[in-house]
Structure 1
Amino acid sequence: MPAEVSVDEAAFLDRAEAGCRTRGASLTPIRRMVLALLHRNPKGLKAYDLLERIKADKPGASPPTVYRALDFLIEQGLVHKIGRMNLFVACSQLCHQAQIPGLFLVCPRCNGVTELQDEEVIRTLAASLVAAGHQLESQEVEIGAICPQCRKPDSQP
């Protein structure tokens, strides 16, 4: 992991750390490292890709190290698991609560992931589910949608 951190990334990590503190939790160095790696990779990373990158700085890191960090970050609303591709993405909002689903657009061509930030759509979806007597299986709702880059005529991911 490079020693130099962008201003945007530092601000993102500082906001995440402050949020953890307000909830009585701690963003340990390894958790911060995992979150930083996910922030730098907006298309998301698989757990073993995270492990490989972490091992560059911490050779003794093991799968449980990464999975414990991911579990914590998900619990804190800082990371989402995209089940259809079994990868993890940093939450662009840093504010999701357990009862509010995250809505993700997953491009089937390039596997890019975009977090949809539309509270009205999320509220409508939640109300429709309740009206139908259903409950979400997970807090991540994934919709297959071709991204703008892949929709370009000359694009070939």
Structure 2
Amino acid sequence: MQSPPDPTLAFERHDHGCCLRDTLARAEEVATRAGARLTPVRRRALEILLEEHRAMGAYEVLEKLAEGGFGSQPPVAYRALEFLVDHGLAHKVRRLNAFAACMHPGEDHAPVFLICRACNAVAEAEGQGVRAALDDAAEVAGFRVERANIEALGLCPACAKVLNE
């Protein structure tokens, strides 16, 4: 298993082409292992999410899919995004009612989303410790957590710098 990408990359300049290629390759492997197909529209939807390192709404994804000739009806985007989420290739960022590419496809992980309130950049950080604390608190209440979406709202380094000036 590969080491997880640095979550701060969403907030810093980096070799984004390499980041995109590596994540797409892992996504292909995940889909193949699951007996699913990363069809051209599904692949393009994932590429769109990966291109920006931020959460994007379904209609924003649809607009970019339509530009690529994939159709302009909402079900085109919603089906592709649903597939990506169901197969662990993207996450729904509930705070923004948007989607972000999973930076750890195929890995068992507990993501924490760091969301910039100014530019909507989203970094996926490892949240195993946060998830463990949540599970411990739930256990005390006799509750079993089946799914959790942990999101933190704040400022990315670039927006914090601009807003502090």
1:51 aligns with 2:62: yes
Post-superposition CA distance 1:62-93 (Å, at most 9, x none): 11011011111001111111111111100111
- Equivalences, count: 149
Q: CA RMSD in A?
A: 2.4
1:135, distance to aligned residue in structure 2 (A):
5.4
The answer to whether the 8 A contact 1:77-1:91 is kept is yes
Deviates more, 1:86-95 or 1:5-14: 5-14
Whether the aligned pair in 1 keeps the contact of 2:110 and 2:127 (CA below 8 Å) is no
2:129 aligned with 1:105: no
What amino acid does structure 1 have at the position aligned with 2:33? T
In 1, Cα distance between equivalents of 2:141 and 2:107: 24
TM-score (norm. length: structure 1):
0.81
Structure 2 counterpart of 1:89: 100
Tell me which residue corresponds to 1:114. 123
Other-structure match for 2:163:
155
Unaligned runs of 5+ in 1: none
| CA contact 1:102–1:139 (8 Å) conserved in 2 | no
d(CA) in 1 for partners of 2:134, 2:107: 16
2:154 to 140, 145, 148: 145
**Pairing partner for 2:78 from 44, 67, 77:** 67
Runs of 5+ consecutive residues of structure 2 not aligned to the other structure: 1-15
Q: Share of identical aligned residues, percent?
A: 35
**How far is the alpha carbon of 1:142 from its aligned partner?**
1.4
Distance 1:106 1:60, change over 3 A: closer
The correspondence for 1:42, drawn from 45, 50, 53, is 53
Whole-Å Cα distance in 1 between the matches of residues 80 and 140 of structure 2? 36
The amino acid that maps onto 1:35 is L
Mean Cα deviation higher: 13-22 or 114-123: 114-123
Per the alignment, residue 89 of structure 2 pairs with: 78
Q: Which of the two has greater helix per residue?
A: 2
The 8 Å contact of residues 41 and 70 in structure 2, kept in 1 or not, is answered as: no
Q: Does structure 1 residue 31 correspond to structure 2 residue 39?
A: no
Q: Residues of 2 paired with 1:116 and 1:60: CA distance?
A: 33
CA distance in 1, matches of 2:105, 2:59: 24
